[in-house]
Amino acid sequence: MAERRLEATVIGPSKSGFLKVSLGRAQGQFISDVPADRLPSSLRLPNSQFVAVVEGRELVRVEADGEVWLKIQDEIRSIINESWAPIGAGASPDEYDGYIGELYRRLQREETDELIVQHLRSIEIDWMGLSEPSIERLREVVRRLRQLKLPGLGTGNPTA
């Protein structure tokens, strides 16, 4: 499963060596027991807020560039939900969040439009098991993604 980034808040202690952490927002929000050693000591206090890198429902690590990633994720999400959305109407707003990180990396590496189109096509056919998509629709998605003014990632400090 692909990584996604979620807002996180430490609720408090859980069983020995674990913390209860709220991950996500609104309808997609859930509570998880997280090994305390996955968080810097400065983030282990109740009400500490950070951005978590999550696979499925498991916190993998703290995102050093948290706020920047949330901005990137929100901007790319709006395009893929409006212009791509291969599953169609009825998908949850965060349905495609697992693809955002790789799309961002490809945009930052300045891959050609055709490589990104082929990546989206592969997601639809190979990963989702859908039929052959419209290449023109995928080109339009890439065109819209290219229009975004996405920030670069620095070396954020997760303990700040």
Q: How confident is the model at residue 102 (pLDDT cuts 50, 70, 90)?
A: very high
DSSP 36: G
The residue to which tokens 């202690």 are assigned: 13
List the domain boundaries for the chain. 3-62, 66-147
Provide the percentage of residues in the chain whose pLDDT is more than 70.
Answer: 95
| pLDDT the model gives residue 1 | 58
User: What would the pLDDT profile of 35-68 be if each residue is shown by its tens digit?
Assistant: 999 999 999 999 999 999 999 899 999 998 998 9
| Architecture category of domain 3-62 in CATH | Beta Barrel (2.40)
DSSP-derived 3-state class of residue 131: coil
Q: Is 116 exposed, middle or buried (0-12, 13-18, 19+ CB in 10 A)?
A: buried
What percent helix, strand, coil does the chain show, rounded to 5? Answer: 40, 20, 35
Q: What is the mean pLDDT of the chain?
A: 91
What does pTM read for this prediction? Answer: 0.78
> 90 pLDDT exceeds 60?
yes
Q: Sign of the C-alpha dihedral, residues 32, 37, 42, 46?
A: positive
Q: Are 99 and 80 in contact (CB under 8 A)?
A: yes
